[in-house]
Amino acid sequence: MPTNRPSDEPATHRRARRKEARPGELIEAALHLFVEKGFAATRVEEVAAHAGVSKGTLFLYFPSKEDLFKAVVRENIAGRFTEWNEEFEQFTGDSVELVRYAMQSWWERIGMTPASGITKLVMSEAGTFPEIAAFYQQEVIGPGHALIRRILQRGVDRGEFRDLPLDYAVYSLIAPMIFLLMWKHSMAPCCPPSHQLDPVSFIDTQVDLILRGMLKHPRP
């Protein structure tokens, strides 16, 4: 009777599980390294080493370094939008709260996780991988854009927000997120502590200001 201790599992199972886990482990390792050092500066051997396999094995799962990159992006775009759509659909509070909640959620679920590196990665390497960038636009940016737009529309419809030029107003929320994420993954590591940004305060302040600009009847 199998126990819970991994070491007691039949080796066959363990191997099999590992076998299936391999690509994931490689993608995980690649994500971290690509984000940290960029595509060109990351060596496949390093990725393999971080995943605990040999260089040859990597090429068993990914025909080339570029394919690995594509897989990293594809694997990390996670269709979270249907889930979020529903969540926000059922939201009953006022739109100020909803915007605040949305932004904080984004930070907690994406911004502060390694997944945020993906966006940095895609934007950085868009020139080298236009195909990927387009794909990302379609799968992530587009839906995200739509989601935010729906949130703002709700505020306008409920008479909470002014009559906003939605096509551009969405960017008032997107821009701070993108900025935060680029900052975190590029300049932050090179800046002295005095220039560091506290992400939560940052988001709070930005949202505060933006909402004030959006509200039909700004409170004093």
Partner DNA sequence: TATGAATGAGCCTTCATTCAT
Partner DNA sequence: CATGAATGAAGGCTCATTCAT
| Residue of 111, 21, 37 whose CA lies nearest to 69 | 37
Contact between 14 and 6 under an 8 Å Cβ cutoff? The reply is yes
Give the binding range for a second copy (CB under 8 A) out of 21-29, 47-55, 82-90, 186-194: 186-194
Give the binding range for DNA (CB under 7 A) out of 53-61, 128-136, 145-153, 175-183: 53-61
How many C-beta neighbours within 10 Å does residue 72 have? 27
How far is Cα 218 from Cα 161, in angstroms, rounded to an integer? 9
Give the binding range for a second copy (CB under 8 A) out of 50-58, 66-74, 98-106, 124-132: 124-132
Residues 166-205 that bind DNA (CB under 7 A): none
Q: Does 133 bind a second copy (CB under 8 A)?
A: yes
CA-based end-to-end distance of the chain: 68
Distance from CA of residue 180 to its chain's centroid? 12
Query: What stretches of 126-165 show up as alpha helix (H) in DSSP?
Result: 130-136, 142-157
The binder of a second copy chosen from 130, 157, 159, 200 (CB under 8 A): 130
Binding site for a second copy (CB under 8 A): 35-41, 122-128, 130-131, 133-134, 136-137, 141-142, 165, 168-169, 171-172, 174-176, 178-180, 182-183, 185-187, 189-191, 195, 197, 201-202, 205-206, 208-214, 218
